[in-house]
Amino acid sequence: MAKPLVAIVGRPNVGKSTFFNRIIGKRVAIVEDTPGVTRDRIYGDAEWLDYHFTLIDTGGIEPMKEDIISQQMRRQAELAIETADVIVFLVDGREGLTASDLEVADLLRRSKKPIVLGVNKVDHPKYADAEYEFYELGIGKPVIISSEQGLGLGDLLDEVVRYFPRMGAGENPDVTNVAVVGRPNVGKSSLVNALLGSERTIVSDIPGTTRDSIDSPFRWNGKDYVLVDTAGIRRKRAIEDESIERYSVIRSLGAIRRADVALIVVDAKLGLSEQDVKIAGYVHEEGKAGVLIVNKWDLIEKDTHTMNEFKKKLAADLAFMDYVPMLFISALTGQRVGKVMEYADMAYEQNCRRVSTGTLNDIVAEAVSVTEPPSDRGRRLRIYYATQVSVKPPTFVLFVNDPELMHFSYKRYLENYFRKSFGLDATPMRLIVRAKTKEEQTPR
């Protein structure tokens, strides 16, 4: 089941970022040694009472201000609210109820989302009665907290997870969720309609026509799927293009986290933009199966080498996910649309694939015999054994004498060897290197 999304919302300086950092601990930014993959720091993974969820930190909402910066921050918060499953509304217990708090509360009520009200900065007895005036917001019982001191956070999180689906509930393992993601006006809705065989979503040349994520159940080849057409963002003259792209990525990330497969749609005429690479990077970081859909291929003048040249260019721009399968289509004419679900199925099947421990260790031994592990100052890397610990994506742990001896190039060699040996050429993969302790024994 996908991780629920929890948005932290409120006016400026109520302690949203302090709350965010306190809940997720030190994992504010994702660090990865894969070149070309970056990630905004507004998302962080957290856990409470065995529930795993994702926090979204937003900029402060100032309803009374109309300057460009305030508009951008408000828009960012509105998009976080749209994608969230639960909203944490933070207010300042020291400052008390303000007109801006009332405006934000009105905005949140219109979202129809579950809201947990946290009265922050209550870390002294003189603020003990701070909660009572916030009943006027009409949102429910306030929870007294101090993000700085870590007080009351457990009570607030108890309320948050109460709105999560029970673990295992609501899951249908026989349904595959397919998110269609990409920049505005690359043909996402046209692709969805072509796959469904009907005008399920509005198609227009105007970016931003799709305003909400639209779920469309359908059957293909005897299997059940849900297609999610993600919203685009309308351009506003007062907002710079860079901000528009950031908002679009916020929407796309929410859809990617919920998906089993992501169809990354790009415009063949425009090629890959920085935003396309960001969206693809999110798919890679989340470990999701992905297919790069190059749409509007009918508009490209071609010769015998056009497609190969495109593939080389795309592979260079997406070097961090060189495994991703590519499909060149035209949603308008129907060219190769029939192959989209074949590719999606293939990528998802590999994303879920398990390898037995015996087979895995045989392949490790074979790889080591072909290319000897590296050594450093007389000490050679030794791989004692390996095991697969999870799927989605396939994740393998290698137990070694010293992880520091595992050079990046040799790790990459093993990954490629695994891909070739296990047929995992269309899915992300994780290789984790750990030191074998004395207590650990080689599995049977």
| Cβ–Cβ < 8 Å for 403, 435 | yes
pLDDT score of 107 more than 80? yes
> Quick one: 334 and 364 in the same domain?
no
pLDDT score of 433 more than 60? yes
Among the listed ranges 5-9, 91-95, 159-163, 439-443, which one has the minimum average pLDDT value? Answer: 439-443
> Quick one: 341 and 370 in the same domain?
no
Pick the last residue of a domain from 161, 196, 221: 161
Residue 236 lies in a domain: yes
Establish whether the linkage from the previous residue to 393 is cis, with ω within 30° of 0.
yes
Pick the last residue of a domain from 327, 351, 375: 351
> Quick one: 234 and 298 in the same domain?
yes
Residue 381 tokens, joined: 């890397």
Q: 217-233, pLDDT tens digit by residue?
A: 888 888 888 887 765 43
Residue 352 tokens, joined: 């879920």
Please state the rounded mean pLDDT for residues 13-19: 88
Selection from 63, 60, 91, 64 nearest residue 77 by Cα: 60
What is the residue-averaged pLDDT of the chain? 81
> Quick one: 277 and 405 in the same domain?
no
For residue 58, give the CATH number of its domain.
3.40.50.300
pLDDT score of 110 more than 70? yes
> Quick one: 85 and 43 in the same domain?
yes
Phi, psi of 410 (to 5 degrees): -75, -35
pLDDT score of 142 more than 50? yes
pLDDT score of 435 more than 70? yes
Domain that holds residue 284: 175-351
Residue that is written with structure tokens 């916020």 in the block: 250
> Quick one: 48 and 72 in the same domain?
yes
Residue 167 lies in a domain: no
The CA distance from 376 to 365, in Å, is 21
Residue 3 DSSP symbol: P
Percent of the chain with pLDDT over 70: 79
Q: 382-414, pLDDT tens digit by residue?
A: 999 999 999 999 999 999 999 999 999 999 999
Cα-Cα end-to-end distance for the chain: 31
Q: 164-200, pLDDT tens digit by residue?
A: 876 444 455 678 889 998 888 888 888 988 998 854 4
Residue 241 lies in a domain: yes
> Quick one: 39 and 150 in the same domain?
yes
Among the listed ranges 155-169, 262-276, 293-307, which one has the minimum average pLDDT value? Answer: 155-169
Higher pLDDT residue, 2 or 376?
A: 376
CB crowding 58-82: b at 16 or more within 10 Å, else e: bbbbbbeeeeeebbbbbbbbbbbbb
Residue 166 lies in a domain: no
Residue 397 lies in a domain: yes
Q: Which band of pLDDT confidence, cut at 50, 70 and 90, is reported for residue 234?
A: very low
Residue 262 lies in a domain: yes
Q: 336-367, pLDDT tens digit by residue?
A: 999 999 999 999 999 999 999 999 999 999 99
> Quick one: 195 and 221 in the same domain?
yes
> Quick one: 210 and 324 in the same domain?
yes
Number of domains in the chain: 3
Higher pLDDT residue, 318 or 250?
A: 318
Pick the last residue of a domain from 332, 351, 370: 351
Q: 44-86, pLDDT tens digit by residue?
A: 778 888 888 888 887 777 766 666 656 666 666 677 777 788 9
For residue 389, give the CATH number of its domain.
3.30.300.20
Residue that is written with structure tokens 């929410």 in the block: 254
* Torsion sign, CA atoms 100, 106, 110, 111: positive
> Quick one: 289 and 153 in the same domain?
no
Selection from 19, 134, 18, 40 nearest residue 88 by Cα: 19
Residue 169 lies in a domain: no
Residue 207 lies in a domain: yes
Q: CB-based contacts of 363: which residues, under 8 Å, 6+ apart?
A: 417, 418, 421, 422
pLDDT score of 20 more than 80? yes
Cα diameter, the chain:
78
> Quick one: 89 and 149 in the same domain?
yes
Residue-level pLDDT at 31:
29
> Quick one: 109 and 195 in the same domain?
no
Residue 65, CA distances (Å) to 68, 71, 239, 286, 308 in order: 9, 8, 15, 36, 51
Among the listed ranges 207-216, 258-267, 311-320, 355-364, which one has the minimum average pLDDT value? Answer: 207-216
